[in-house]
């Protein structure tokens, strides 16, 4: 019996190990390539969308921050405690209005130097620059900082009920200048020698001034700085418009768009950046 079984086993055909054929290998590689391409495309698309969202978020943040800082300073324009001295006018339209004064031992109030390009005026409308605005207010123990965060010395501050004894009204003044430079919104304050960058990506900035010509506390007309003339004390509100761009390219192709900023049309560069216009109106309650 054993002999018969051994013969049967020895005569049985042996099974050989079979590999992939060339066609099967090519098909497997092709399927893998399709899967890899799909994964790569999905990753690149997700990364692009994420970068676009980040750029748009940054653009929105820069626009909101710029308007928030501008509004916070401009609404104090002309502010003065009782008997601290009337600011006439509170908008700086000539650098000779900026003064320096001393108050108390070792304390001084410095005016901003080189105001030639930082006074309130209509700027060049070339898509890269814009208007500038400079305002002042008197300081007390509630309002005593400039747009750069510099603080007026306590000895120079007026009390809410009137100026401190021996303190001239010019010593309580704080100046703030807002202007554009190299695509940045910057401010120069009279209490801090450094210039503060408020927001980047700001390509243009425009202001319109609401005049109350009938002394009823309401705006009768809006004009630009060149047309205010001798009526700066009649300004009861300021309209602000800024054009903000993304830091990087986000569009699929170049576009050249013209934007309306209050009374001006501004044509942006022909590129792939995203842009948006932000506007606000600030009530000026402290003018004459």
18-65 residue pLDDT tens: 666 778 777 878 888 888 887 777 767 766 766 777 888 999 999 999
**Would 19 be classed as within a structural domain?**
no
Distance separating alpha carbons of residues 14 and 221, to the nearest angstrom = 103
Q: What's the average model confidence in pLDDT over 222-245?
A: 95
Could you tell me if 180 and 102 are in contact, meaning their C-beta atoms sit under 8 angstroms apart?
no
* Residue 149 predicted with pLDDT over 90: no
Number of domains in the chain: 1
Range of the domain at 252: 50-283
Place of tokens 């009204």: 169
- Model confidence at 68, in pLDDT bands (50, 70, 90)? very high
The Cα–Cα gap between 1 and 152 comes to 116
The answer, yes or no, to whether residue 101 has pLDDT greater than 80, is no
Residues with Cβ within 8 Å of residue 144, at least 6 apart in sequence: 151, 152, 157, 174
| Residue 7 pLDDT | 53
34-38, 93-97, 166-170, 231-235: which has the highest mean pLDDT?
A: 231-235
Residue 1 lies in a domain: no
Indicate whether 137 pLDDT > 80. Answer: yes
In the predicted model, is pLDDT for residue 239 greater than 90?
A: yes
Q: What phi and psi values does residue 189 have, to the nearest 5 degrees?
A: -110, 150
Residue at token pair 């695509």: 183
Structural domain includes residue 24: no
4 pLDDT above the threshold of 90: no
Q: What is the mean pLDDT of residues 255-261?
A: 94
In a domain, 3, yes or no: no
Query: Which range (72-76, 134-138, 154-158, 197-201) has the least confidence?
Result: 154-158
**What percent of the chain clears pLDDT 90, i.e. is strictly above it?**
41
Nearest to 213, CA basis, from 105, 155, 287: 287
Nearest C-alpha neighbor of 74 from the set 233, 183, 236, 182: 236
> Is 32 domain-assigned?
no
Q: What is the pLDDT of residue 190?
A: 84
Whether 56 maps to a domain, the answer reads yes
- The confidence band for 286, taking pLDDT boundaries of 50, 70 and 90, is confident
State residue 228's pLDDT score: 95
Question: Half-sphere exposure (CA, 13 Å, Cβ side) for 48?
Answer: 10
- Average pLDDT of the segment spanning 145-165: 76
Chain segment 166-203, per-residue pLDDT in tens: 566 788 888 899 999 889 999 988 877 678 899 999 99
Domain membership flag for residue 59: yes
Count CB-CB contacts under 10 A for residue 67. Answer: 20
The neighbouring-strand residues paired with 277 are 243
CA 84 to chain CA centroid, Å, is: 33
In a domain, 173, yes or no: yes
Q: Give dist(CA 136, CA 118) in Å, integer.
A: 13
């Amino acid at each position: 019996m054993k002999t018969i079984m051994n013969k049967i086993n020895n005569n049985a055909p042996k099974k050989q190990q079979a590999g992939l054929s060339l066609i099967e290998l090519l098909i497997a590689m092709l399927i893998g390539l399709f899967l890899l391409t799909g994964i790569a495309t999905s990753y690149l698309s997700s990364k692009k969308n994420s970068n676009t969202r980040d750029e748009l978020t940054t653009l929105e943040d820069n626009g909101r921050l710029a308007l928030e800082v501008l509004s916070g300073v401009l609404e104090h324009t002309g502010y003065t405690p009782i008997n601290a001295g009337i600011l006439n006018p509170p908008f700086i339209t000539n650098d000779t209005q900026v003064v320096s004064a001393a108050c108390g031992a070792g304390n001084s109030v410095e005016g901003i130097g080189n105001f030639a390009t930082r006074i309130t005026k209509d700027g060049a409308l070339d898509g890269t620059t814009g208007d500038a605005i400079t305002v002042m207010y008197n300081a007390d123990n509630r309002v005593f900082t400039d747009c750069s965060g510099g603080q007026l010395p306590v000895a120079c501050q007026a009390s809410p009920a009137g100026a401190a004894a021996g303190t001239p009204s010019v010593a309580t003044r704080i100046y703030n200048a807002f202007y554009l430079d190299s695509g940045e919104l910057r401010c120069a304050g009279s209490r801090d020698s450094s210039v503060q960058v408020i927001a980047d990506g700001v390509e243009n900035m425009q202001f319109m001034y609401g005049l109350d010509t009938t002394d009823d506390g309401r705006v009768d007309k809006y004009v630009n700085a060149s047309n205010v003339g001798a009526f700066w004390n009649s300004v009861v509100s300021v309209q602000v418009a800024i054009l903000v761009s993304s830091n990087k390219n986000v569009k699929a192709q170049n576009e050249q768009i013209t934007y309306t900023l209050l009374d001006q049309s501004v044509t942006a560069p022909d590129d792939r950046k995203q842009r948006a216009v932000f506007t606000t109106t600030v009530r000026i309650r402290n003018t004459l």
